[in-house]
Amino acid sequence: MSQEKANEVRSTHLPEHGPLDENGREILLSLKNVDITFGKGDAAVRAVQNATFDIYKGETFSLVGESGSGKTTVGRAVIRVNPLAGGEILYKGVRISGKIPRALDREVIRNIQMVFQDPAASLNERATVDYIISEGLYNFHLFKDEADRVKKVETMIEEVGLLPEHLTRYPHEFSGGQRQRIGIARAMVMEPELVVADEPISALDVSIRAQVLNLMKKFQEEKGITYLFIAHDLSVVRFISDRIGVIYKGRIVEVAEAEELFNYPLHPYTHSLISAIPIPDPELEKNKVLFTYDPSIHDYSEDKPDFVCIGHNHYVYGNKKEIEQYKAIRNSNIPVKPVKIADPNDPKTQQNQRREETEANSEEFLIHPTHDTGSIWYKILSFLLPILGLIAAAVFKHFHHTRNQKACFRGAIAGLIVLGVIVILFLLLLVLAVI
């Protein structure tokens, strides 16, 4: 039996410290060539493929990408909910993926907690806040006696900005931000080393997001907690992350420090995500030219891609030709401008704006019901029955059937004019007959 296998067999408990990298930083979590597949046979879906990255102790590592890219799948694999089809996950140098001893499994659960995206769905609606926060303490016997448990729960509920009297209430009695605070309290009372935060602020109002982020930052500073922060909004993660990993269709395409990634977004997909960040200035946002990522620009038929470090602790996915281009861009030390603002006086820009307006008008027309045709029959009927035509025009106007409304109105007006002329002629003939 090899030394590695022997160590793996003996690893029934987590060591006090994880391995160190070449710079002396402690590696808390490592994903090595992780594959996650759902289903079997022809119906199998490869949700994550060859995901590789490290998370250092005490840092916030953000995993970003569009919806369905595999972010949550990776997070759930870290907490051992999603099984791996390939690769391995190491915590403090010990493999925690696959089948592991029961004692090690309990230590992993104790040390790795998760804050979920939807606070309403993640909390037991039939349990009090006191029980929700205490559940982990009960399962792992993390208190000496009942007085110690109560003290821990009350201290934690106050640390997240709630009051001890809230412990007797149920989740449905709280707002979304308060429920998320309860979810954070449930995780933090276990005193974990790593917290997987699965889009913890996406379901909250903008005014509440900063409060939750500040709360998580406070726990990190006070308790040295490490975060795997999952999000789809790059504008948020820029200011809270130490390093950022970008995932596209289950594959990690770029990993770098936060400012490094925003200054040098090398992979085209990263470029497109940054260009999509809204600009607070309405005029600039109006003239912003979006960069759209097209996967067909990559030709991997012969020159196979790999996940490579190009220096500056910056990793990019690409083939040899692309990697050389990325290195040249990075070594130039000229920041990449992912956002381009078009000149409003440029004829091409004006032409594009007119095209967009035309398309918008077309889309607005398409949302009207298919029977809103402005048919000649509405005009004829309104001409013959002008009063009913006016009523029909009012009805069509109410339901935004613009063309039908105009047809009925014009027909009714023409009918009323003709009817008026006939009445006047009849009166003139009547007067002449009397005379």
Q: How far apart are CA 240 and CA 375, in angstroms?
A: 59
The answer on pLDDT for 2 being more than 60 is no
What letters, b where the CB count within 10 A reaches 16 and e where it falls short, cover 3-16? eeeeeeeebeebee
The answer on pLDDT for 358 being more than 60 is no
pTM as predicted: 0.75
Q: Which tens digits make up the pLDDT trace of 302-356?
A: 999 999 999 999 999 999 999 999 999 999 999 888 777 766 666 655 555 556 5
Q: Which tens digits make up the pLDDT trace of 60-112?
A: 999 999 988 999 999 999 999 999 999 999 999 999 999 999 999 999 999 99
Say how many C-beta atoms besides its own lie within 10 A of residue 345's C-beta.
Answer: 7
Using DSSP bridges, classify how beta strands 27-38 and 45-56 pair: parallel, antiparallel or unpaired. antiparallel
Tokens of 103: 């004692």
Domain locations in the chain as residue ranges: 3-264, 298-331, 376-434
Own/partner contacts of 296-303, CB < 8 Å, gap of 24 or more, are 297/268, 298/322
pLDDT given for residue 268 in this prediction: 94
Closest CA relative to residue 138, chosen from 149, 127, 148: 149
Residue 101 CA, chain-centre distance (Å), reads: 35
Using DSSP bridges, classify how beta strands 315-318 and 251-257 pair: parallel, antiparallel or unpaired. antiparallel
- Inter-residue contact 250 to 67 (CB < 8 Å): no
Q: What CATH number was assigned to the domain covering residues 3-264? A: 3.40.50.300
The answer on pLDDT for 42 being more than 50 is yes
158-167, 305-314, 384-393: lowest mean pLDDT where? 384-393
Q: What is the mean pLDDT of the chain?
A: 87
- Inter-residue contact 237 to 258 (CB < 8 Å): yes
Q: What is the mean pLDDT of residues 204-211?
A: 82
Q: How far apart are CA 125 and CA 119, in angstroms?
A: 11
For the chain, what percent of residues have pLDDT higher than 90? 58
- Dihedral (Cα; 237, 56, 324, 319), 10-degree rounding: -90
Q: How far apart are CA 405 and CA 397, in angstroms?
A: 6
Q: How far apart are CA 102 and CA 105, in angstroms?
A: 5
Question: Which residue's entry shows tokens 């309290």?
Answer: 185
Helix pair angle (129-140, 102-111), 10° resolution: 140
The answer on pLDDT for 230 being more than 70 is yes
Which is more confidently placed, 355 or 374?
374
Q: How far apart are CA 72 and CA 65, in angstroms?
A: 10
Q: Hey, which residues does 49 pair with through a beta bridge?
A: none
pLDDT given for residue 347 in this prediction: 61
Q: Hey, which residues does 30 pair with through a beta bridge?
A: 54, 90
